Amino acid sequence: MAADPLTGWLSLRRPSPRPGEEGETAACRYLEAQGFAVLARNFRCRSGEVDVVARKGDTTVFVEVKERRSESHGQGHEAVTFGKRRRIVRAARLYAAARGLSETPLRFDVVSIDWVDGQPRIRHDPGAFDAGGG
């Protein structure tokens, strides 16, 4: 029986990376180099999503990663709106409650990856916003 050419083509095809995956990977490498332990990536719930959950010392850090390939829409860190911050905080609270972390320090950081000449320029803003989203 002859091989089906369509099936053969499908088996060679690799899934394309999801948007932002390369930036999140770069952010995780950066955080690990700074002494953070990455606990989770892309935590999702009904309330929102957290790109990276990390820990440094006794602090659990919820990280929003913004990646930009050009400056036409501004820098990545400028794109974390109040509404986005509120969704991150809601998701972070659910994550913390489900894992018994409610009594430990929580922090909200932003890591922006701005690609310049094919190289990532990383900006880390620790404590970029508080649990109120401000």
Q: What is the pLDDT of residues 91-120, one digit of tens each?
A: 999 999 999 987 889 999 999 988 888 888
1 found inside a domain: no
4 found inside a domain: no
Rounded CA separation 65/110 (Å)? 6
Residue 22 tokens read as: 């390369």
13 found inside a domain: no
29 found inside a domain: yes
Q: What is the pTM of this model?
A: 0.81
101 found inside a domain: yes
Number of structural domains (the chain) is 1
Q: What is the mean pLDDT of residues 62-74?
A: 79
Residue 29 belongs to domain spanning: 21-129
Rounded CA separation 68/120 (Å)? 9
Percent of the chain with pLDDT over 90: 57
- The CATH number of residue 61's host domain is 3.40.1350.10
Are residues 52 and 41 in contact, defined by beta-carbon separation less than 8 angstroms?
Answer: yes
Rounded CA separation 23/69 (Å)? 10
Q: What is the pLDDT of residues 19-48, one digit of tens each?
A: 567 889 999 999 999 999 999 999 999 989
Are residues 38 and 54 in contact, defined by beta-carbon separation less than 8 angstroms?
Answer: yes
39 found inside a domain: yes
Are residues 25 and 41 in contact, defined by beta-carbon separation less than 8 angstroms?
Answer: no
